[in-house]
């Protein structure tokens, strides 16, 4: 007598439908379409987990650029000045400093200007 996959198949199908629950129409009801939907969803999730890191970095750069423009220095000059002054702060922390403590950011700008010898 051959073994059948009844319980294993039912368990796999149940797991599949639990994961695609909430999808529109056949995508949440039929096995083949649900499988395709799940593959696509996982592919998009993989891609967007990596894109999120790029998006946040660009957001931090935009914020620091805006703070630099208010103080009369270009972003590239500011970053270059910080590198020459041996200040190792990443874009996220620079963005937070620019938002929450502008007086510290002013000091960083002056430090960068001093390293590059730029007048205001």
CATH numeric code, 6-116:
1.10.1900.20
pLDDT for 61-107, tens place per residue?
999 999 999 999 999 999 999 999 999 999 999 999 999 999 999 99
Segment 50-55 mean pLDDT = 98
pLDDT for 92-102, tens place per residue?
999 999 999 99
Residue ranges per structural domain of the chain: 6-116
Write out the DSSP string of 30-70.
-HHHHHHHHHHHHHHHHHHHHHHHHHHHHHHHHHHHHHHHH
């Amino acid at each position: 007598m051959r073994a059948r996959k009844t319980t294993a198949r039912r368990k796999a199908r149940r797991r599949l439908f639990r994961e695609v629950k909430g999808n529109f129409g056949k995508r949440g009801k039929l096995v083949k379409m649900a499988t395709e939907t799940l593959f696509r969803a996982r592919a998009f999730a993989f891609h967007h987990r990596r894109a999120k890191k790029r998006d946040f970095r660009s957001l931090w750069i935009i914020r620091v650029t805006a703070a630099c423009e208010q103080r009369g220095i270009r972003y590239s000059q500011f970053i270059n000045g910080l590198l020459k002054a041996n200040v190792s702060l990443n874009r996220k922390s620079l963005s937070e400093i620019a938002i929450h403590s502008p007086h510290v950011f002013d000091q960083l700008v002056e430090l960068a200007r001093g390293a590059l010898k730029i007048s205001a």
